[in-house]
Amino acid sequence: MKDMKGFNGAYGLFIFLALLLPSQGFASNAYFVDTQDARANGMMEAFAATADNPSAVYYNPAGIVNVDGTQVSAGLTFVYIPGEDVPFESNGTSVFGAPGETTDSETLTAYIPSFFATHKINNDWSAGFGMFSNFGLSTEWPEDWEGRYVSGGVYSDILTMALNPVVAYRVDKNVSIAAGIVYQTLEVQSRNKYLMGAPGSGIPDATVKVTAEDSSGFGYSLGFLARLSDAVNLGIAFQSAVRHDMDGDFELYGTPGGQFNAKDDVSMKMTLPAIARLGLAYSKGPLTVEGDVVFTQWSTIDESTIKFDQLPLSGTEPKDYRNTFTYRLGTNYSVNNAFDVRGGVEYSGNPIPLSTQEPAVPTNYRWRFGVGGGYTMEKFVIDLSYNYIFWPTKMEYDNETGDYDANVSPGLGKVTGEWDASGHMVVTTLSYKF
């Protein structure tokens, strides 16, 4: 085992790095779950100018003035990312990885619920409510893989839930506006391994774990919808950034005989990004075609600041995330009064620069393709959609976070390589019209 001096030096650096995860666990566009409704998802979320069902509360609340009576919808998004579809191919620059060695991540399955309700008060006023999670999911890697000592290198998880009451007003027959309050909760967890002895010494790794729960923050949402002609709608929607002041727990455990185990309280700050949507929809007979541009203000994540209650390890780490634009094109075709069919395509930019890329959030710019359909039965509507998500090119990993010589112990080398990724989503929504 390393002597106490060497342990203390690596201990401070590595614990500090381990706590940087919460500011990035959601930052990959693969972790921005904009999927809240199967009808919208079948059109690849190009829905800000259509916004004609209860999920308009999320996509553009100004649209709820066009949703008649009282309606509710409940949705479920199923995410499936096979481990072999997110492999890391090592360059073999550290002592823990052979050149060309490939490690698959653990298979991810997740179920993400949503609920929306709208009520038409009169011809001019409507109210709505939404409950959804649009930042979330997790990553998990084998506990013995090459990158296990990097922050979040074994497990990272983030879960948000938002409550969003809104009110909408019809300014005139062609224009409506809306505003709402967003109350958002956040929970995060990360784990990585800590090297206790020289490679091959047989001394088991310890584990660094960080958890933060019960954080909450407030934001707001705005909407604008205009009928430019009989065939063309313009939609603009905005969801503000939400700041979280998080209190959490740090734990180092599994050290030999427990002699170096440690616990402490920590506090962290993060701001989940603002989202702006601009959509233009064209409808002619049974066909609707919409194109949307979505701006995500990832630059709110410019650094991570960590404060320990007792341990002298507080500090700040740059993240330098970049704002992104997402481009969407979606269609809906009404076969008859009961059946609709849909399709869409999306291109999304990458918010994380190569200099701060980490195994907790392997990401790149991406494409997404989707199909879907809907069936109306008097007061019930059932919608179903499927998406395939993939990176067109591999993402290289070669930065300071994987520098084991500096962050863990001299002589261990650096973790470098490249990632690839693809995944699947199935969304189902059941709606009822009172």
The whole-angstrom separation of Cα 212 and Cα 189 is 6
pLDDT of 16 strictly over 50 = no
Residue pLDDT, tens place only, 222-237 = 999 999 999 999 999 9
Categorize the per-residue pLDDT at 31 as very low, low, confident or very high, splitting at 50, 70 and 90.
low
Cα–Cα distance for residue pair 373/207, rounded to 1 Å: 46
- Return the C-alpha torsion angle 117, 123, 124, 125, nearest 10: -30
* 191, 152 contact by CB (below 8 A): yes
Q: Which band of pLDDT confidence, cut at 50, 70 and 90, is reported for residue 320?
A: confident
Closest by CA to 95, choosing from 10, 1, 199, is 199
Residue 5 has a pLDDT of: 35
Q: Would you say residue 110 has pLDDT above 60?
A: yes
Confidence of residue 359 (pLDDT cuts 50, 70, 90): confident
> What is the CATH classification number for the domain harbouring 228?
2.40.160.60
What pLDDT digit, counting tens, does each position of 166-175 carry?
A: 999 999 999 9
For 275-315, how does the pLDDT look when each residue is reduced to its tens digit (9 = 90+)?
Answer: 999 999 999 999 999 999 999 999 998 887 778 899 887 77
pLDDT confidence tier of residue 371, bands split at 50, 70 and 90: very high
Which one has a higher pLDDT value, 175 or 11? 175
At 29 the pLDDT is 53
pLDDT of residue 57: 98
> Comparing C-alpha atoms, which of 79, 61, 2 is closest to residue 385?
79
Which pLDDT value is given to residue 13? 35
Inform me whether the pLDDT recorded for 22 exceeds 70: no
Q: Choose the most confident range, by mean pLDDT, from 9-13, 243-247, 315-319, 325-329.
A: 325-329
Question: CA gyration radius for the chain?
Answer: 23
Model's pTM, two decimal places?
Answer: 0.89
Which structural domain range is residue 104 located in? 4-433
For 410, residues 6+ apart whose C-beta sits below 8 A from its C-beta are none
**Does 71 have pLDDT greater than 70?**
yes
In this prediction, residue 191 has a pLDDT band, given cuts at 50, 70 and 90, of very high
The tally of domains found in the chain comes to 1
Q: Note the pLDDT of residue 315.
A: 76
Residue 335 CB neighbour total at 10 angstroms: 10
Average pLDDT value for the chain: 89
- CA-to-CA distance for 199 and 144, rounded, in angstroms? 12
Q: Considering only CA atoms, which of 421, 401, 356 is closest in space to residue 192?
A: 401
From 3-17, 268-282, 357-371, the region with the lowest mean pLDDT = 3-17
Residue 79 has pLDDT above 80, yes or no: yes
Short-list 380, 389, 382, CA closest to 428: 382
Using CA atoms, how far residue 241 sits from 49, 152, 218, 275, 380, in Å, is 22, 24, 9, 8, 35
Q: Is the pLDDT of residue 2 over 60?
A: no
- State yes or no: pLDDT of 81 exceeds 80: yes
Pick the range with the lowest mean pLDDT from 95-99, 117-121, 428-432.
95-99
Check residue 307 and give its pLDDT: 86
pLDDT of amino acid 319: 83
Q: Three-state SS for 25?
A: coil
d(CA 165, CA 131): 9
Pairing of strands 275-284, 287-296: antiparallel
* Confidence label for 363 from pLDDT (cuts 50, 70 and 90): confident
Classify burial at 360, counting beta carbons within 10 Å of its beta carbon; exposed 0-12, middle 13-18, buried 19 or more. buried
* Region for residue 11 given its phi and psi (left: phi exceeds 0; alpha: psi -120 to 50; beta: otherwise): alpha
Tens digit of each residue's pLDDT (9 = 90 or more) over 386-418: 999 988 888 889 999 899 999 899 999 999 999
What is the predicted pLDDT for the residue at 416?
A: 94
